[in-house]
Structure 1
Amino acid sequence: MRTRSRLLALATALVVTSGLVVVSVARDGEPAQAAPVTITNGIQFTDVGGSPLHAHGGGVLKVGGYYYWFGENRHPNNTFRAVSVYRSVDLRNWEFRNDVLTQASATELQVANIERPKVIYNASTGRFVMWMHKENGTNYNEARAAVASSTTVDGNYTYHGSFRPLGHMSRDITLYDDNGTGYLISAADENYDLHIYRLSADYLTVSGLVGNFWNDAHREAPALFKRGSTYFMLTSGATGWNPNQARYATASSISGPWTGWTDVGDATTFRSQPTFVLPIQGTTTTSYLYLGDRWAGAWGGPVNDSQYVWLPITFPSSTSMSLNWAPSITVDTQTGTVTANTPAYHRIANRNSGRVMDVVSNSTANNAEVKQYGWNGGGNQRWEFQDAGGGYFRIVNLNSGKCLDVASGSTADGANIIQYTCGSGPNQQWQWAAIGDHHQLRARHSGKCLDVVNAGTGDGADIQQYACHGGTHQQWSRTAT
């Protein structure tokens, strides 16, 4: 009887809901229930050990009470290092589990590019199956799909090789499990076409082409999900590292007919590219979470410096979706609710002059000067403090969406203060350090303070960084606007 109970406690059963694979485990293996958490957007996530979390271009699979996040982990030259996997119960606190696929997994992976790994579970074989985009590490001429599998979700995956599905080029991909039928969606023919393939019964190869529904559409980064009776195909344009307008199509069947494309989000999808849509099924509701990458290549950085943008998807109707910016979200995986948090903006006033930080001439351009001016209520004088971790903030201008930046990452006294596209550099990270009733703004990379040049009190006085000394022209206050 004890042996039988033990076996039952270890048994697993597969449940498939709206494309989210949930492998339910018995009570002995379940984690504690998750409390609501806040996730900050536009930053590099870290794992519970404090290390940067590298799951770029990835996807999430729920197994029992855990969410498993697979993604790209690259070398500084952007070549393949590993597919890394992390797990979490609340979607914020991620535990590193394993590099499930590495350069040592196969000869052809020793020098390669592996992108957009996605994993689904095959109930008939009991294996977790990973598909990904594979290149040779030198150029993008291979355009192949690659396959690996494992008997455990976070164990070492066996590499089964790479190929062109039915002879077609294959770049950005995603997977979808539709009640036991597997599908591969792949950007084909130099990204001009988007193919839907049906997978074989074991999910390890392609059995047929369902259709090429968007010939010459030039779409990539597909993310497929189902809500109710409607399938949504979310994609980006093909503009390299640079973000662009996301668009989606819908259908009542994967085999079509599919609609044309509809814009969603803003013109740059909040400076991100789709990677996955995660249904979060809870006791109260099921929410749909957009997972996007803010690629570091857009500002010349390596892939592992990329940031994450996670936003709740809303649905004006059963066949339409909407995506709006939020600097942070609150996620409750227990109830299934995801809430967008309204950004708070501040005017930042200098103690010596009473004037506020201002982006000159309402500019939205990189390198625009930041000076002090009298308060006029403009968006160029309103700033959002975004948590950058470690007690530091990125300070983002409402008008431009750009960050307060020490020009060229200089550590010198007198270095100019500008606005610049937000990245992960410590020259865009600031400590709000108390000094009496006011605060200093200390740059993370230099330790120097935000300073009004020559303690000027007039409009247009320049702002620089300078060694901290406690003068009132280095002291600031912030007031919510």
Structure 2
Amino acid sequence: MPQRRGSIVVLLAVLIGAATVAPATAAPVTVSNGTQFVDTSGQVVHAHGGGVIKVDAYYYWFGENRNANNTFRAVSVYRSTDLRTWEFRRNVLTQSSSSELAVANIERPKVVYNNSTGRFVMWMHKENGSDYGEARAAVASSATVDGDYTWHGSFRPLNHMSRDITLFRDDDGTAYMISAARENADLHVYRLTADYRQVASLVHVLWPGSWREAPAMFKRNGVYFLLTSGATGWAPNQQKYATATSVAGTWSALANVGDNTAYGSQTAYVLPVQGSQTTSYLYLGDRWAGAWNGPVNDSRYVWLPLTFPSSTTMSMNYASQVTIDTATGVVTPISQPAYTLTARHSGKCLDVPSASQAPGAEVKQYPCNGGANQRWEAQAADGGYYRLVARHSGLCLDVANGSTADSTSVTQYTCNGGTNQQWQFQDAGSGYYRVVARHSGKCLDVISASTADGALVKQYTCNGGTNQQWARANA
């Protein structure tokens, strides 16, 4: 997205000569999408616009950690063996690392290991903290993956603008930097010098005038894939990919992957998960809080398995949860039943207006249209209750502030396990249900039995009205 986010981090699945790569032994875990992750101390993981590098048995996740005004605070790094249990290691680059960083924007940091120099090299997108006129690449390096990184400065590669950025290290040790150039109109592919700290040459100008950003490159069975998004600010858009048989060769035309918003996300990185049985490819995406006018550190994560119908094609489907087994390399989407809920009195659907991603957005009734903002996944709680999770946002149907009062707003909100986010379907006859909040015993109600588009949905004492009866259809 234009002039705001930043650098993607690149995985080096096998670090040749860097360390002995040990197989992961962690048990399978489940990751929930559309959420903020927390580390082992209970703090929110700030690795936005980030990516991963594996060293020994650990995956190290680097990313953006911003101030409240969205300027640079730190590049933070976390480590995990299972890709869910994240231990905060340190802020490896901070405002005090260089005078250039005292007030700045640092975006999409990515790290690769240089076998010849024995150093971990980080590239990132750098701006001055007040506007996006600099459009510079920046470099830092460290002798250890999670040590303090030494700042080596920022520049425009071969005098070209450089914004959203990623790294790719090929099997022969050649490293490439890919960045959005010319006000994001083009993507430039650069070959790096032997120490990975400078640009050696411009290899490609890809798809001039196509307005692509957020690049992520990976290699599968000898085929190179380059995944990118469109340039639409914080708003998500249709992501596209292309393939080639060499980085310097001819790249295919761009093809769509995922839905027209990448399930409300933007690519940050594609992570090969290599295990004893297979290598899976995991899409790591950011659901940027800027889309609902929130600060970057309120952004959430979307991780989805990629599938490959052929050697040169790629697919991505949504799942609210994904099981990851780093020992075997198997990554499995978890299917949850999803419903549309249609009010009996109006024939209109329970809807999050404008497909808002914002926590606290009030739900309303609107004509049924099949949108993901009208699809609700039923995730089992206990006692016959369910969390109803909006497919487009990953947020739970919630009675505001846990109130038990009549006419309290019903919203979508960050899932937290509260009983004000647990609902029971009670048979109302003729294929309709009352949807009853666990904490209050009150019904999901269209206010004043209105049939108007945009009528608010609230909780109210159950009274048998048809504005409290909902048809539940598979979606």
Aligned to 2:421: 431
Aligned to 1:10: none
Aligned to 1:48: 40
Contact 1:358 1:370 in 2 (8 A): no
Residues in 1 aligned to 2:435 and 2:400: alpha-carbon distance in whole angstroms: 25
Aligned equivalent of 2:353, options 362, 365, 368: 365
| SS of structure 2 residue aligned to 1:129 | strand
Aligned to 1:149: 141
Contact 2:24 2:326 in 1 (8 A): no
Instruction: Return closer, same or farther for 1:198/1:394 CA change in 2, 3 Å cut-off.
Output: farther
Aligned to 2:191: 198
Contact 2:11 2:271 in 1 (8 A): no
Residues in 1 aligned to 2:157 and 2:375: alpha-carbon distance in whole angstroms: 51
Q: Match for 2:421: what amino acid?
A: Q
Instruction: Return closer, same or farther for 1:425/1:240 CA change in 2, 3 Å cut-off.
Output: farther
Deviation at 1:432, TM superposition (A): 2.4
Contact 1:219 1:235 in 2 (8 A): yes
Aligned equivalent of 1:318, options 298, 311, 316: 311
Instruction: Return closer, same or farther for 1:426/1:333 CA change in 2, 3 Å cut-off.
Output: closer
Tell me, yes or no, if structure 1 residue 39 matches structure 2 residue 39. no
Taking the TM superposition and a 5 Å limit, the aligned residue runs for 1:214-253 are: 214-253=207-246
Residues in 1 aligned to 2:150 and 2:345: alpha-carbon distance in whole angstroms: 56
| SS of structure 2 residue aligned to 1:119 | strand
Q: Match for 2:148: what amino acid?
A: N
Taking the TM superposition and a 5 Å limit, the aligned residue runs for 1:174-185 are: 174-178=166-170, 179-185=172-178
Residues in 1 aligned to 2:373 and 2:184: alpha-carbon distance in whole angstroms: 39
> More relative contact order in 1 or in 2 (CA 8 Å, sep 6+)?
2
Q: Note the alpha carbon deviations across 1:147-167, whole angstroms, 9 max, x for none.
A: 000000000000000000000
Q: Note the alpha carbon deviations across 1:187-218, whole angstroms, 9 max, x for none.
A: 01100110000111110111111111221111
Q: Note the alpha carbon deviations across 1:100-144, whole angstroms, 9 max, x for none.
A: 000000001000000000000000000000000000000000000
| SS of structure 2 residue aligned to 1:85 | strand
Contact 1:135 1:141 in 2 (8 A): yes
Taking the TM superposition and a 5 Å limit, the aligned residue runs for 1:454-469 are: 463-465=457-459
Structure 1 gaps of 5+ residues are 1-16, 350-354
Tell me, yes or no, if structure 1 residue 133 matches structure 2 residue 122. no
Residues in 1 aligned to 2:206 and 2:365: alpha-carbon distance in whole angstroms: 52
Q: Note the alpha carbon deviations across 1:294-317, whole angstroms, 9 max, x for none.
A: 000001100000000000000010
Q: Match for 2:327: what amino acid?
A: Q
Contact 1:182 1:203 in 2 (8 A): yes
Q: Note the alpha carbon deviations across 1:265-294, whole angstroms, 9 max, x for none.
A: 000010100010001111111110001000
Contact 2:352 2:363 in 1 (8 A): no
Residues in 1 aligned to 2:157 and 2:379: alpha-carbon distance in whole angstroms: 43
**Identical positions, percent:** 54
Aligned to 1:7: none
Q: Note the alpha carbon deviations across 1:5-37, whole angstroms, 9 max, x for none.
A: xxxxxxxxxxxx99524367459xx69711111
Residues in 2 aligned to 1:357 and 1:306: alpha-carbon distance in whole angstroms: 37
Q: Match for 1:114: what amino acid?
A: I
Instruction: Return closer, same or farther for 1:32/1:312 CA change in 2, 3 Å cut-off.
Output: closer
Instruction: Return closer, same or farther for 1:363/1:96 CA change in 2, 3 Å cut-off.
Output: closer
Deviation at 1:472, TM superposition (A): 11
Residues in 1 aligned to 2:315 and 2:168: alpha-carbon distance in whole angstroms: 22
Instruction: Return closer, same or farther for 1:156/1:347 CA change in 2, 3 Å cut-off.
Output: same
Tell me, yes or no, if structure 1 residue 328 matches structure 2 residue 321. yes
Contact 1:347 1:357 in 2 (8 A): no
Aligned to 2:262: 269
Aligned to 2:77: 85
Q: Note the alpha carbon deviations across 1:321-346, whole angstroms, 9 max, x for none.
A: 00110111111100111011112236
Aligned equivalent of 1:118, options 106, 110, 115: 110
Contact 1:82 1:100 in 2 (8 A): yes
Q: Match for 2:284: what amino acid?
A: L
Aligned length: 442
Deviation at 1:49, TM superposition (A): 1.2
Instruction: Return closer, same or farther for 1:440/1:225 CA change in 2, 3 Å cut-off.
Output: same
Q: CA RMSD in A?
A: 4.3
Instruction: Return closer, same or farther for 1:129/1:265 CA change in 2, 3 Å cut-off.
Output: same
Deviation at 1:431, TM superposition (A): 3.4
Residues in 2 aligned to 1:361 and 1:476: alpha-carbon distance in whole angstroms: 12
Q: Give the TM-score of the pair, scaled to structure 2.
A: 0.80
Residues in 2 aligned to 1:335 and 1:25: alpha-carbon distance in whole angstroms: 21
Q: Match for 1:431: what amino acid?
A: Q
Q: Match for 1:464: what amino acid?
A: K
Deviation at 1:48, TM superposition (A): 1.3
Aligned to 1:13: none
Aligned to 2:5: none
Contact 2:236 2:265 in 1 (8 A): yes
| SS of structure 2 residue aligned to 1:298 | helix
Aligned to 1:279: 272
Contact 2:187 2:205 in 1 (8 A): yes
Residues in 2 aligned to 1:270 and 1:411: alpha-carbon distance in whole angstroms: 31
